[in-house]
Amino acid sequence: MRFGIMIVPEDRWQTARHKWRRAEQMGFDHAWTYDHLNWRAFRAKEWFTAVPTLTAAAMETQRIEIGVLVASPNLRHPVHLVKDITAIDDISNGRLVLGLGAGAEGFDSQMTRRRQWTKRERTARFEEYVQLTDLLLTQPVTSFDGEYYLADEVHSQPLCRRQPRVPFAVAASGPRGMRLAARYGSFWVTTGEPNRFAAAPYDEALPVLRRQVEAFEQACAEVGRDPAGVSRLLVTGPTVSGVLASKEAFFDAAGRFAEVGITDVVVQWPRPDEPFPGREEVLDEIAAELDRPALT
């Protein structure tokens, strides 16, 4: 089992930098941030975007993988996304993971778009989005003429430090999205039960996770991919709760998640209030139990 942590991009950097540094020192395998312009309860609060946050985090850390969960068609054309990603990949010396998701209707889309996308259009856009992003990151020159996205002789230099490209972590809960994750992903990402806006205790989430893992394995079979070659990453917090109630709860949850096929568990950095309230001391207690090599 690998462990990661999500750091909400709400703090001024002089505060945030210590969280990213501590995440590495505590032995987490990967650290993530969200990619939104505004998000839920934070709409009227301070909020920083993912690209500068990850750039700074890449310079603040040495070992830990860093990533975004998730970039979506809501904010950037794939060409713009890829230019940012290759820069952060270079600065991090190949430690970046690119999370991709279809996104949802909300503040991000409403601020800049007159017409909201239908569910069908959003799914179709996401398929093109992932396909074009993959092409742009794996070949020096790309031309693409899709239904939603255009790329006309786009030169992608430099290419990624990790070859053939940065790993994709594809968030998906439906059959079409899972097939995308199976085809393009190094990780498949789930937050648990889709379209749920309240967190349930982690033991209650296990049946849903088991069914999702089985559906993802079926998607792998449909595209000819060995499911053992794709990590299954669970982001706890939004719909799965209780994982950071204590050190004992964390390791109990991790064991239960592993039994249903999850390989990576991401927890939220504890906050003083909703969402994701908790105690940072629990992270220190967990860190004392993680068997990770010290930084040199």
- Model pLDDT for residues 84-139, shown as the tens digit of each residue: 999 999 999 999 999 999 998 877 778 878 888 999 999 999 999 999 999 999 99
In 200-281 the beta strands, taken as DSSP E runs, fall at 200-201, 231-235, 240-241, 264-268
Q: How large is the average pLDDT for residues 210-235?
A: 98
**Burial zone of 204 (CB within 10 Å; 0-12 exposed, 13-18 middle, 19+ buried):** middle
Q: What is the pTM of this model?
A: 0.95
What confidence tier does 292 reach under pLDDT thresholds 50, 70, 90? low
What's residue 87's pLDDT?
98
Q: How large is the average pLDDT for residues 147-168?
A: 97
Q: Kindly report the CATH class assigned to 2-289.
A: alpha beta
- Model pLDDT for residues 232-280, shown as the tens digit of each residue: 999 999 999 999 999 999 999 999 999 999 999 999 999 999 999 999 9
Q: Are strands 30-33 and 240-241 parallel, antiparallel or unpaired?
A: unpaired
**Residue 5: count of CB within 10 angstroms of its CB:** 25
Residue 293 has pLDDT above 80, yes or no: no
Q: How large is the average pLDDT for residues 209-229?
A: 98
What confidence tier does 231 reach under pLDDT thresholds 50, 70, 90? very high
**Residue 194: count of CB within 10 angstroms of its CB:** 13
What's residue 230's pLDDT?
98
- Model pLDDT for residues 180-203, shown as the tens digit of each residue: 999 999 999 999 998 776 788 999
As a whole number of angstroms, the distance between CA 179 and CA 41 comes to 32
Angle at 185 between CA 181 and CA 187, to 5 degrees: 95
> Domain ranges in the chain?
2-289
What's residue 296's pLDDT?
38
As a whole number of angstroms, the distance between CA 119 and CA 123 comes to 6
What confidence tier does 223 reach under pLDDT thresholds 50, 70, 90? very high
- Model pLDDT for residues 34-70, shown as the tens digit of each residue: 999 888 888 889 999 999 999 999 999 999 999 999 9
What confidence tier does 145 reach under pLDDT thresholds 50, 70, 90? very high
What's residue 92's pLDDT?
98
Amino acid, single-letter form, for residue 83: K
Residue count of the chain: 296
Find the helix packing angle between 202-223 and 247-259, rounded to 10°: 30
How would you label 44-57 residue by residue, b for 16+ Cβ within 10 Å and e otherwise? Answer: eeeebebbebbbbb
Quick one: DSSP state of residue 271? B
